A and B are shown apart, each in its own frame.
Chain A
Protein backbone atom coordinates (compact mmCIF):
# COMPACT_ATOMS: atom_id res chain seq x y z
CA UNK A 1 0.00 0.00 0.00
CA UNK A 2 1.40 3.34 -1.02
CA UNK A 3 1.45 6.30 1.33
CA UNK A 4 -1.89 8.05 1.23
CA UNK A 5 -2.60 11.70 1.76
CA UNK A 6 -6.02 13.13 2.69
CA UNK A 7 -7.16 15.69 0.14
CA UNK A 8 -10.80 16.05 1.20
CA UNK A 9 -12.60 15.44 4.44
CA UNK A 10 -15.86 13.59 4.79
CA UNK A 11 -18.01 16.67 5.07
CA UNK A 12 -16.44 18.20 2.01
CA UNK A 13 -17.14 15.03 0.10
CA UNK A 14 -20.69 14.90 1.31
CA UNK A 15 -21.24 18.52 0.40
CA UNK A 16 -19.80 18.00 -3.02
CA UNK A 17 -22.27 15.26 -3.74
CA UNK A 18 -25.18 17.28 -2.45
CA UNK A 19 -24.13 19.99 -4.83
CA UNK A 20 -23.61 17.56 -7.66
CA UNK A 21 -26.86 15.74 -7.23
CA UNK A 22 -28.94 18.87 -6.79
CA UNK A 23 -27.22 20.33 -9.80
CA UNK A 24 -28.07 17.28 -11.79
CA UNK A 25 -31.73 17.42 -10.75
CA UNK A 26 -31.92 21.10 -11.44
CA UNK A 27 -30.35 20.73 -14.84
CA UNK A 28 -32.59 17.86 -15.74
CA UNK A 29 -35.76 19.63 -14.68
CA UNK A 30 -34.40 22.82 -16.14
CA UNK A 31 -34.13 21.14 -19.50
CA UNK A 32 -37.63 19.81 -19.04
CA UNK A 33 -38.94 23.32 -18.50
CA UNK A 34 -36.91 24.76 -21.29
CA UNK A 35 -37.87 22.24 -23.90
CA UNK A 36 -41.24 21.11 -22.52
CA UNK A 37 -39.99 17.54 -22.04
CA UNK A 38 -43.26 15.95 -21.07
CA UNK A 39 -41.48 12.61 -20.69
CA UNK A 40 -40.44 13.94 -17.30
CA UNK A 41 -43.96 13.46 -16.10
CA UNK A 42 -43.04 9.79 -15.85
CA UNK A 43 -40.65 10.76 -13.09
CA UNK A 44 -42.27 13.71 -11.42
CA UNK A 45 -45.92 13.12 -12.10
CA UNK A 46 -46.60 16.61 -13.31
CA UNK A 47 -44.82 19.79 -14.14
CA UNK A 48 -46.27 21.39 -11.08
CA UNK A 49 -44.64 18.74 -8.88
CA UNK A 50 -41.50 19.00 -10.90
CA UNK A 51 -41.50 22.71 -10.14
CA UNK A 52 -41.60 21.93 -6.43
CA UNK A 53 -38.67 19.54 -6.82
CA UNK A 54 -36.80 22.13 -8.84
CA UNK A 55 -37.40 24.80 -6.24
CA UNK A 56 -36.28 22.66 -3.30
CA UNK A 57 -33.34 21.24 -5.18
CA UNK A 58 -32.45 24.87 -5.69
CA UNK A 59 -32.26 25.34 -1.93
CA UNK A 60 -29.94 22.35 -1.62
CA UNK A 61 -27.87 23.66 -4.47
CA UNK A 62 -27.60 27.14 -3.07
CA UNK A 63 -26.84 25.82 0.41
CA UNK A 64 -24.15 23.42 -0.64
CA UNK A 65 -22.71 26.03 -2.95
CA UNK A 66 -22.43 28.41 -0.06
CA UNK A 67 -20.59 25.79 2.00
CA UNK A 68 -18.06 25.23 -0.75
CA UNK A 69 -16.89 28.74 -0.17
CA UNK A 70 -15.10 27.60 2.99
CA UNK A 71 -13.37 24.78 1.19
CA UNK A 72 -12.37 26.27 -2.09
CA UNK A 73 -12.63 30.01 -2.19
CA UNK A 74 -9.44 31.01 -0.31
CA UNK A 75 -7.35 28.52 -2.28
CA UNK A 76 -8.99 29.56 -5.53
CA UNK A 77 -8.15 33.18 -4.91
CA UNK A 78 -4.56 32.31 -4.11
CA UNK A 79 -3.01 33.02 -7.44
CA UNK A 80 0.74 32.79 -8.22
CA UNK A 81 2.97 33.12 -11.23
CA UNK A 82 2.75 29.39 -11.78
CA UNK A 83 -0.94 29.80 -12.43
CA UNK A 84 -0.22 32.00 -15.39
CA UNK A 85 2.27 29.52 -16.73
CA UNK A 86 -0.28 26.79 -16.27
CA UNK A 87 -2.81 28.82 -18.17
CA UNK A 88 -0.41 29.58 -20.93
CA UNK A 89 0.01 25.88 -21.63
CA UNK A 90 -3.71 25.25 -21.09
CA UNK A 91 -2.93 22.93 -18.22
CA UNK A 92 -1.12 20.63 -20.56
CA UNK A 93 -4.34 19.17 -21.75
CA UNK A 94 -3.47 19.82 -25.35
CA UNK A 95 -0.33 17.74 -25.33
CA UNK A 96 0.30 14.09 -24.67
CA UNK A 97 3.44 14.81 -22.61
CA UNK A 98 2.85 17.93 -20.67
CA UNK A 99 5.21 19.43 -18.17
CA UNK A 100 2.98 21.58 -16.04
CA UNK A 101 4.28 24.00 -13.44
CA UNK A 102 3.99 22.91 -9.82
CA UNK A 103 0.49 23.46 -8.40
CA UNK A 104 -0.98 23.98 -4.95
CA UNK A 105 -3.96 22.09 -3.59
CA UNK A 106 -5.96 23.16 -6.63
CA UNK A 107 -4.59 23.58 -10.06
CA UNK A 108 -5.36 26.69 -12.05
CA UNK A 109 -8.12 25.04 -14.02
CA UNK A 110 -9.79 23.91 -10.87
CA UNK A 111 -9.53 27.39 -9.40
CA UNK A 112 -10.98 28.96 -12.48
CA UNK A 113 -13.77 26.47 -12.65
CA UNK A 114 -14.62 27.05 -9.06
CA UNK A 115 -14.69 30.83 -9.30
CA UNK A 116 -16.88 30.78 -12.36
CA UNK A 117 -19.11 28.14 -10.85
CA UNK A 118 -19.45 30.22 -7.76
CA UNK A 119 -20.38 33.33 -9.73
CA UNK A 120 -22.87 31.61 -11.96
CA UNK A 121 -24.09 29.44 -9.15
CA UNK A 122 -24.90 32.49 -7.09
CA UNK A 123 -26.53 34.09 -10.11
CA UNK A 124 -28.67 31.10 -10.86
CA UNK A 125 -29.62 30.69 -7.21
CA UNK A 126 -30.52 34.30 -6.58
CA UNK A 127 -32.43 34.66 -9.84
CA UNK A 128 -34.19 31.40 -9.13
CA UNK A 129 -35.30 32.62 -5.77
CA UNK A 130 -36.49 35.89 -7.25
CA UNK A 131 -38.62 34.07 -9.81
CA UNK A 132 -39.91 31.76 -7.15
CA UNK A 133 -40.61 34.24 -4.41
CA UNK A 134 -41.07 37.65 -6.01
CA UNK A 135 -43.19 36.99 -9.05
CA UNK A 136 -44.93 40.36 -9.02
CA UNK A 137 -42.31 42.68 -10.38
CA UNK A 138 -41.93 42.37 -14.10
CA UNK A 139 -38.54 44.13 -14.25
CA UNK A 140 -36.92 41.80 -11.73
CA UNK A 141 -38.49 38.76 -13.26
CA UNK A 142 -37.18 39.57 -16.69
CA UNK A 143 -33.68 40.24 -15.33
CA UNK A 144 -33.74 37.07 -13.27
CA UNK A 145 -35.03 35.06 -16.14
CA UNK A 146 -32.14 36.26 -18.24
CA UNK A 147 -29.55 35.66 -15.50
CA UNK A 148 -30.97 32.23 -14.72
CA UNK A 149 -30.67 31.18 -18.29
CA UNK A 150 -27.21 32.58 -18.88
CA UNK A 151 -25.96 30.81 -15.75
CA UNK A 152 -27.76 27.69 -16.80
CA UNK A 153 -25.98 27.70 -20.12
CA UNK A 154 -22.62 28.05 -18.35
CA UNK A 155 -23.35 25.30 -15.91
CA UNK A 156 -24.61 22.81 -18.42
CA UNK A 157 -21.48 23.35 -20.46
CA UNK A 158 -18.91 23.61 -17.68
CA UNK A 159 -20.12 20.82 -15.47
CA UNK A 160 -19.77 18.04 -18.06
CA UNK A 161 -16.25 19.32 -18.73
CA UNK A 162 -15.53 19.19 -15.03
CA UNK A 163 -16.89 15.68 -14.87
CA UNK A 164 -14.73 14.57 -17.75
CA UNK A 165 -11.62 16.14 -16.33
CA UNK A 166 -12.27 14.64 -12.95
CA UNK A 167 -12.76 11.17 -14.29
CA UNK A 168 -11.63 9.97 -17.67
CA UNK A 169 -9.19 12.73 -18.39
CA UNK A 170 -7.45 12.37 -15.05
CA UNK A 171 -7.65 8.82 -13.82
CA UNK A 172 -7.42 8.58 -10.08
CA UNK A 173 -9.03 11.92 -9.41
CA UNK A 174 -12.45 10.65 -8.67
CA UNK A 175 -11.34 8.92 -5.52
CA UNK A 176 -10.82 12.34 -3.89
CA UNK A 177 -14.57 12.62 -3.92
CA UNK A 178 -15.04 9.02 -2.81
CA UNK A 179 -12.51 8.22 -0.10
CA UNK A 180 -10.89 11.61 0.17
CA UNK A 181 -7.34 10.22 0.04
CA UNK A 182 -4.89 9.85 -2.76
CA UNK A 183 -1.39 8.34 -2.95
CA UNK A 184 1.23 10.87 -1.94
CA UNK A 185 3.19 10.23 -5.11
CA UNK A 186 0.11 10.75 -7.24
CA UNK A 187 -0.52 13.95 -5.45
CA UNK A 188 3.01 15.12 -5.65
CA UNK A 189 2.95 15.04 -9.35
CA UNK A 190 -0.16 17.10 -9.52
CA UNK A 191 -0.10 19.31 -6.46
CA UNK A 192 3.55 19.52 -5.74
CA UNK A 193 3.46 22.70 -3.69
CA UNK A 194 0.64 21.46 -1.55
CA UNK A 195 2.25 18.11 -0.85
CA UNK A 196 5.35 19.94 0.16
CA UNK A 197 3.38 22.18 2.44
CA UNK A 198 1.83 19.14 4.02
CA UNK A 199 5.37 18.00 4.92
CA UNK A 200 5.81 15.05 2.63
Chain B
Protein backbone atom coordinates (compact mmCIF):
# COMPACT_ATOMS: atom_id res chain seq x y z
CA UNK B 1 0.00 0.00 0.00
CA UNK B 2 1.26 3.47 -0.86
CA UNK B 3 2.24 5.45 2.19
CA UNK B 4 -0.41 7.81 3.47
CA UNK B 5 0.18 11.17 5.07
CA UNK B 6 -1.34 14.37 6.32
CA UNK B 7 -0.57 17.60 4.54
CA UNK B 8 -0.84 20.51 6.93
CA UNK B 9 -1.05 23.96 5.41
CA UNK B 10 -0.88 26.80 7.94
CA UNK B 11 -1.70 29.14 5.05
CA UNK B 12 -5.15 27.62 4.91
CA UNK B 13 -5.65 27.23 8.63
CA UNK B 14 -8.00 29.68 10.30
CA UNK B 15 -7.25 28.55 13.83
CA UNK B 16 -10.82 27.45 14.42
CA UNK B 17 -9.63 24.34 16.27
CA UNK B 18 -12.39 22.17 14.99
CA UNK B 19 -9.63 19.62 14.56
CA UNK B 20 -8.69 19.81 18.21
CA UNK B 21 -12.23 19.02 19.28
CA UNK B 22 -12.75 16.42 16.58
CA UNK B 23 -9.65 14.59 17.75
CA UNK B 24 -10.97 14.54 21.28
CA UNK B 25 -14.36 13.44 20.11
CA UNK B 26 -13.17 10.59 18.03
CA UNK B 27 -10.58 9.38 20.49
CA UNK B 28 -12.89 9.98 23.46
CA UNK B 29 -10.35 12.03 25.33
CA UNK B 30 -11.49 13.95 28.39
CA UNK B 31 -10.88 17.67 28.68
CA UNK B 32 -8.06 19.44 30.46
CA UNK B 33 -8.96 22.02 33.04
CA UNK B 34 -7.40 25.13 31.57
CA UNK B 35 -7.02 28.82 32.29
CA UNK B 36 -6.76 31.78 30.01
CA UNK B 37 -3.25 33.07 30.38
CA UNK B 38 -3.52 35.89 27.92
CA UNK B 39 -3.83 33.84 24.78
CA UNK B 40 -6.51 31.94 22.97
CA UNK B 41 -4.05 29.12 22.57
CA UNK B 42 -5.16 26.35 24.88
CA UNK B 43 -4.33 23.85 26.33
CA UNK B 44 -0.79 25.17 26.60
CA UNK B 45 0.83 21.95 25.42
CA UNK B 46 0.19 18.45 24.20
CA UNK B 47 -0.84 16.20 27.05
CA UNK B 48 -1.84 12.56 27.35
CA UNK B 49 -5.36 13.73 26.46
CA UNK B 50 -4.40 16.33 23.90
CA UNK B 51 -3.08 14.65 20.77
CA UNK B 52 -3.43 17.62 18.52
CA UNK B 53 -3.23 21.27 19.23
CA UNK B 54 -3.01 24.40 17.18
CA UNK B 55 -0.12 26.60 18.16
CA UNK B 56 -0.88 30.30 17.71
CA UNK B 57 2.30 31.93 16.58
CA UNK B 58 2.56 35.70 16.28
CA UNK B 59 5.37 37.13 14.18
CA UNK B 60 5.95 40.66 12.98
CA UNK B 61 4.43 41.69 9.69
CA UNK B 62 5.12 44.56 7.37
CA UNK B 63 1.65 45.20 6.08
CA UNK B 64 -0.47 44.15 9.03
CA UNK B 65 -0.39 44.76 12.78
CA UNK B 66 0.92 41.25 13.19
CA UNK B 67 1.25 38.03 11.34
CA UNK B 68 -0.72 35.35 13.07
CA UNK B 69 0.08 31.79 12.16
CA UNK B 70 -1.76 28.67 13.17
CA UNK B 71 0.33 25.56 13.24
CA UNK B 72 -0.95 22.15 14.10
CA UNK B 73 1.23 20.23 16.50
CA UNK B 74 0.94 16.49 16.73
CA UNK B 75 2.90 13.31 15.99
CA UNK B 76 4.78 13.53 12.73
CA UNK B 77 4.61 9.83 11.94
CA UNK B 78 8.29 9.79 11.04
CA UNK B 79 9.46 7.10 8.69
CA UNK B 80 12.67 6.80 10.72
CA UNK B 81 10.90 7.21 14.01
CA UNK B 82 13.12 8.00 17.00
CA UNK B 83 10.40 6.80 19.34
CA UNK B 84 10.28 3.40 17.71
CA UNK B 85 14.00 3.17 17.47
CA UNK B 86 14.58 3.56 21.17
CA UNK B 87 11.50 1.74 22.41
CA UNK B 88 12.51 -1.44 24.31
CA UNK B 89 9.08 -3.05 24.21
CA UNK B 90 8.19 -4.98 21.10
CA UNK B 91 4.78 -4.09 19.72
CA UNK B 92 4.36 -1.03 21.90
CA UNK B 93 5.01 1.23 18.94
CA UNK B 94 4.47 -0.01 15.45
CA UNK B 95 3.86 1.16 11.96
CA UNK B 96 0.58 0.54 10.21
CA UNK B 97 0.62 -0.27 6.56
CA UNK B 98 -0.49 3.30 5.89
CA UNK B 99 2.69 4.50 7.59
CA UNK B 100 1.15 5.68 10.83
CA UNK B 101 3.27 5.30 13.95
CA UNK B 102 0.65 3.73 16.15
CA UNK B 103 0.89 2.16 19.57
CA UNK B 104 -0.51 -0.48 21.79
CA UNK B 105 -0.89 0.66 25.35
CA UNK B 106 -1.00 -2.96 26.54
CA UNK B 107 2.50 -3.50 25.29
CA UNK B 108 3.87 -0.16 26.45
CA UNK B 109 6.07 -0.69 29.53
CA UNK B 110 6.04 2.96 30.54
CA UNK B 111 9.79 3.44 30.36
CA UNK B 112 9.30 6.81 28.61
CA UNK B 113 12.42 6.38 26.54
CA UNK B 114 10.43 7.38 23.46
CA UNK B 115 10.16 10.89 24.85
CA UNK B 116 13.91 11.11 24.60
CA UNK B 117 13.92 9.49 21.21
CA UNK B 118 11.35 11.80 19.61
CA UNK B 119 12.81 14.82 17.85
CA UNK B 120 9.45 16.62 18.09
CA UNK B 121 8.67 16.19 21.76
CA UNK B 122 5.44 14.37 21.05
CA UNK B 123 4.84 11.32 23.24
CA UNK B 124 3.03 11.88 26.51
CA UNK B 125 2.11 9.50 29.32
CA UNK B 126 -1.29 8.81 30.73
CA UNK B 127 -2.14 8.18 34.36
CA UNK B 128 -1.12 4.55 33.99
CA UNK B 129 2.20 5.60 32.51
CA UNK B 130 1.32 4.42 29.05
CA UNK B 131 2.22 6.28 25.90
CA UNK B 132 -0.41 8.62 24.50
CA UNK B 133 -0.21 10.52 21.25
CA UNK B 134 -1.79 10.98 17.85
CA UNK B 135 -1.99 7.65 16.10
CA UNK B 136 -3.25 9.08 12.83
CA UNK B 137 -6.64 7.73 13.86
CA UNK B 138 -5.41 4.24 13.18
CA UNK B 139 -8.89 2.81 13.64
CA UNK B 140 -10.32 5.18 11.06
CA UNK B 141 -7.63 4.96 8.43
CA UNK B 142 -7.44 1.20 8.55
CA UNK B 143 -11.18 1.24 7.88
CA UNK B 144 -10.62 3.47 4.87
CA UNK B 145 -11.80 6.70 6.51
CA UNK B 146 -9.77 9.85 6.85
CA UNK B 147 -8.56 10.93 10.30
CA UNK B 148 -11.05 12.88 12.37
CA UNK B 149 -9.06 16.10 12.27
CA UNK B 150 -8.75 16.06 8.49
CA UNK B 151 -12.40 15.21 8.14
CA UNK B 152 -13.42 18.16 10.28
CA UNK B 153 -11.11 20.83 8.95
CA UNK B 154 -13.30 23.27 7.05
CA UNK B 155 -10.63 24.78 4.87
CA UNK B 156 -8.48 21.84 3.88
CA UNK B 157 -5.64 22.96 6.13
CA UNK B 158 -5.32 19.31 7.13
CA UNK B 159 -5.56 16.98 4.19
CA UNK B 160 -5.17 13.23 4.28
CA UNK B 161 -4.14 11.18 1.31
CA UNK B 162 -1.39 9.36 -0.53
CA UNK B 163 1.85 10.87 0.60
CA UNK B 164 3.33 11.16 -2.86
CA UNK B 165 0.43 12.98 -4.34
CA UNK B 166 0.11 15.34 -1.38
CA UNK B 167 3.81 16.09 -1.65
CA UNK B 168 3.57 16.63 -5.37
CA UNK B 169 0.62 18.96 -4.92
CA UNK B 170 2.36 21.02 -2.26
CA UNK B 171 5.50 21.33 -4.33
CA UNK B 172 3.57 22.34 -7.40
CA UNK B 173 1.71 24.97 -5.42
CA UNK B 174 5.09 26.62 -4.96
CA UNK B 175 5.49 26.60 -1.20
CA UNK B 176 8.87 27.81 -0.04
CA UNK B 177 9.40 24.76 2.09
CA UNK B 178 7.68 21.44 2.10
CA UNK B 179 8.63 20.36 5.56
CA UNK B 180 9.14 16.69 6.13
CA UNK B 181 9.72 15.72 2.54
CA UNK B 182 12.98 13.94 3.34
CA UNK B 183 13.63 14.59 7.02
CA UNK B 184 13.76 11.45 9.15
CA UNK B 185 13.15 9.28 6.15
CA UNK B 186 10.17 11.44 5.27
CA UNK B 187 7.51 12.53 7.70
CA UNK B 188 3.93 11.35 7.69
CA UNK B 189 2.77 14.81 8.70
CA UNK B 190 4.06 17.09 6.00
CA UNK B 191 3.83 20.87 6.30
CA UNK B 192 3.53 23.34 3.47
CA UNK B 193 5.34 26.46 4.65
CA UNK B 194 5.55 29.84 3.00
CA UNK B 195 8.61 30.79 5.03
CA UNK B 196 11.38 29.13 6.95
CA UNK B 197 10.15 26.48 9.39
CA UNK B 198 11.70 28.49 12.23
CA UNK B 199 9.08 31.17 11.76
CA UNK B 200 6.41 28.59 12.42
CA UNK B 201 8.23 27.43 15.51
CA UNK B 202 9.63 24.28 13.95
CA UNK B 203 13.11 22.84 14.03
CA UNK B 204 14.90 23.60 10.78
CA UNK B 205 16.51 20.16 10.59
CA UNK B 206 14.83 17.71 12.89
CA UNK B 207 17.06 14.83 13.91
CA UNK B 208 17.05 11.83 16.10
CA UNK B 209 19.51 12.59 18.96
CA UNK B 210 23.04 11.62 17.98
CA UNK B 211 23.56 9.43 21.01
CA UNK B 212 20.67 7.30 19.91
CA UNK B 213 22.08 6.97 16.46
CA UNK B 214 25.47 6.00 17.93
CA UNK B 215 23.81 3.52 20.20
CA UNK B 216 21.88 2.08 17.36
CA UNK B 217 24.83 1.82 15.01
CA UNK B 218 27.62 0.85 17.41
CA UNK B 219 26.58 -0.16 20.87
CA UNK B 220 23.73 -2.38 19.92
CA UNK B 221 25.79 -4.49 17.47
CA UNK B 222 28.60 -4.57 19.96
CA UNK B 223 26.34 -6.09 22.57
CA UNK B 224 25.44 -8.74 20.07
CA UNK B 225 28.88 -9.51 18.77
CA UNK B 226 30.74 -8.72 21.98
CA UNK B 227 29.22 -11.45 24.08
CA UNK B 228 29.70 -13.93 21.31
CA UNK B 229 33.25 -12.74 20.91
CA UNK B 230 34.00 -13.17 24.61
CA UNK B 231 32.74 -16.71 24.62
CA UNK B 232 34.52 -17.55 21.43
CA UNK B 233 37.79 -16.08 22.65
CA UNK B 234 37.56 -18.16 25.83
CA UNK B 235 36.98 -21.28 23.85
CA UNK B 236 39.87 -20.61 21.57
CA UNK B 237 42.10 -19.90 24.53
CA UNK B 238 41.06 -23.13 26.17
CA UNK B 239 41.83 -25.13 23.11
CA UNK B 240 44.99 -23.39 22.02
CA UNK B 241 46.62 -22.58 25.32
CA UNK B 242 44.62 -24.60 27.72
CA UNK B 243 43.90 -24.09 31.37
CA UNK B 244 46.41 -22.81 33.81
CA UNK B 245 48.61 -25.53 35.30
CA UNK B 246 50.87 -25.46 38.28
CA UNK B 247 54.58 -26.17 37.83
CA UNK B 248 54.42 -29.71 39.32
CA UNK B 249 51.59 -30.63 37.11
CA UNK B 250 53.42 -29.25 34.17
CA UNK B 251 56.43 -31.37 35.17
CA UNK B 252 54.31 -34.42 35.71
CA UNK B 253 52.82 -33.92 32.38
CA UNK B 254 56.22 -33.37 30.90
Which positions in A face B, CB cutoff 8 Å?
31, 33-36, 38, 46-48, 50-51, 92-98, 131, 135-136, 138, 141-143, 145-146, 149-150, 152-153, 156-161, 164, 168-171, 186, 189
Contacts and interface: CB of A to CB of B under 8 A. Distances in A.
Contact of A141 (B112, B244, B245): B112
A92 B242 CA distance: 12
A48 B109 CA distance: 4
Contacts of A152: 219, 223
B231 interface: yes
Contacts of A47: 88-90, 92, 107, 109
B31 interface: no
Nearest to A48: B109
B223, B229, B231, B243 interface centre (most CB from chain A within 10 Å)? B223
16 contacts: A31-B223, A34-B220, A51-B110, A92-B244, A95-B241, A138-B115, A141-B112, A141-B115, A142-B116, A145-B86, A145-B211, A146-B219, A156-B226, A156-B230, A169-B244, A170-B244
Contact of A131 (B113, B211, B219, B222): B113
A192 B42 CA distance: 75
Interface in B42-90: 86, 88-90
A190 B90 CA distance: 48
B205 interface: no
Given A150-B219, A153-B222, A170-B244, A145 B231 contact: no
Nearest to B88: A33
Nearest to A185: B246
Ranked nearest first, the 6 interchain pairs of A and B with the lowest CB-CB distance are: A33-B88, A164-B234, A135-B112, A36-B90, A160-B230, A141-B116
Interface in B211-225: 211-212, 214-215, 219-220, 222-224
Contact of B219 (A48, A94, A149, A159): A149
Per DSSP, chain B at the interface is helix
A142 B209 contact: yes
A130 B30 CA distance: 31
B227 interface: yes
Interface of B: 86, 88-92, 107-113, 115-116, 121, 209, 211-212, 214-215, 219-220, 222-224, 226-227, 229-231, 233-234, 237-238, 241-247, 250
B212 A169 contact: no
Nearest to B216: A149
B212 A142 contact: yes
Contacts of B227: 156-157, 160
A51 B109 contact: yes
Contacts of A95: 241
B115 A135 contact: yes
Contact of B110 (A48, A157, A158): A48
A27 B204 CA distance: 39
Contact of B224 (A35, A136, A146, A158): A35
Contact of A157 (B220, B230, B238): B230
B241 A93 contact: yes
A34 B244 contact: no
B193 to A, nearest CB: 25
Contact of B243 (A97, A157, A168): A168
A131 B87 CA distance: 13
B214 A135 contact: no
A157 B229 contact: yes
A59 B102 CA distance: 33
